[in-house]
Amino acid sequence: MTFLRILSYLSLAWLLGAAVSEDPVPRPVDPWMFYTILDEQPGILVVALHENLWLGYDTASCTLHKVWRGGLLDTAQAAGGASQSLTYGFTYNTFAPDPARWRLTGAGPTQHPDPIFKGFAMEDGHAVLSYELVFSDGQRLLVEERPEYMELKRADNRAGLSRAFSIQADPAKGKLSLRQDYGPLVWGKDLAGKAKWTNESKSKRFYDWGTTYDFTGDMYLSAKKAALVEAVFTVDVEQEGRRRSSN
């Protein structure tokens, strides 16, 4: 078992009763990782972790594009045989593909390396995604991401996502980071993990039953220590907010 996986398992147990099992949860489809045109967006890798948690990664920018629960409708015949899919169900988040989310700071002006998607693999039943970042000076860094579904005490209205990142070596100069967005977040621990952030911002949304917030920040990546992000997504935000207020 790798250090990264051990770190992931140990740090998740306390999060709202969440847990990532060493044995992967049953996947909703087979195969559960594949390329497609998703909602008219080409070059998407679908990772179906659970019936309540589907991910779509943009392979051009090596970033998370969409998070939803439900499934896919295959429209290949309508597309003349091309692999094309439409999502159905509830969309937790959609992110515009943006390679500028990868950043190198602390070595002069902010640099944005060119991301190259190197493929995906399964390791003991878990997903491993590989990216290569190419810098202006010719330096290349390999990044691995391991996304996984988190078991929650209450999964009827919520779904948990763990994203573990590792890099083989640090940049020759400066610090590497990945800009991420999560929200709306209802509970105080809906975003947790073991990661160092910079340029953090939280914006609140106000309702008659309470507040939620959206988070944006740059997560540092270091070869010395894996970075782990744990996010909980909610279907009915009002229902969850009222439940929180009544506690």
The band of 97, judged by pLDDT with boundaries at 50, 70 and 90, is confident
- Examine the pLDDT at 2 and tell me if it is beyond 80: no
Count of C-beta atoms within a 10 Å radius of residue 145: 22
d(CA 80, CA 95): 28
Contacts with 229 (C-beta within 8 Å, 6 or more apart), sequence order: 162, 163, 164, 165, 180, 191, 193, 195, 219
The predicted structure's pLDDT at residue 25: 84
- C-alpha dihedral (96, 129, 158, 227), degrees to nearest 10: -90
Contacts with 193 (C-beta within 8 Å, 6 or more apart), sequence order: 11, 162, 227, 228, 229, 230
d(CA 161, CA 18): 10
d(CA 189, CA 12): 11
Lowest mean pLDDT among 66-80, 179-193, 210-224: 66-80
The predicted structure's pLDDT at residue 231: 96
From residue 225, how far is each of 8, 64, 163, 174, 220 by CA, in Å?
Answer: 12, 22, 14, 16, 10
d(CA 170, CA 223): 6
Contacts with 115 (C-beta within 8 Å, 6 or more apart), sequence order: 60, 61, 62, 63, 99, 102, 131, 132, 133, 134
Relative to beta strand 126-134, strand 53-58 is unpaired
Nearest to 129 by CA among 184, 179, 59: 59
Mean pLDDT (the chain, rounded): 87
- Examine the pLDDT at 201 and tell me if it is beyond 50: yes
d(CA 227, CA 179): 13
d(CA 127, CA 164): 11
Through-space distance between the first and last CA atoms of the chain, rounded to whole angstroms: 39
- Examine the pLDDT at 120 and tell me if it is beyond 70: yes
Segment 57-68 shows an average pLDDT of: 97
From residue 179, how far is each of 4, 189, 208 by CA, in Å?
Answer: 21, 20, 31
What pTM was computed for the model?
A: 0.87
Segment 57-84 shows an average pLDDT of: 82
The predicted structure's pLDDT at residue 114: 97
User: Residues of the chain with pLDDT > 90: what percent?
Assistant: 66
For 161, list phi and psi in degrees, rounded to 5: -125, 130
Beta-bridge partner residues of 44: 36, 58
Q: Are 20 and 11 in contact (CB under 8 A)?
A: no
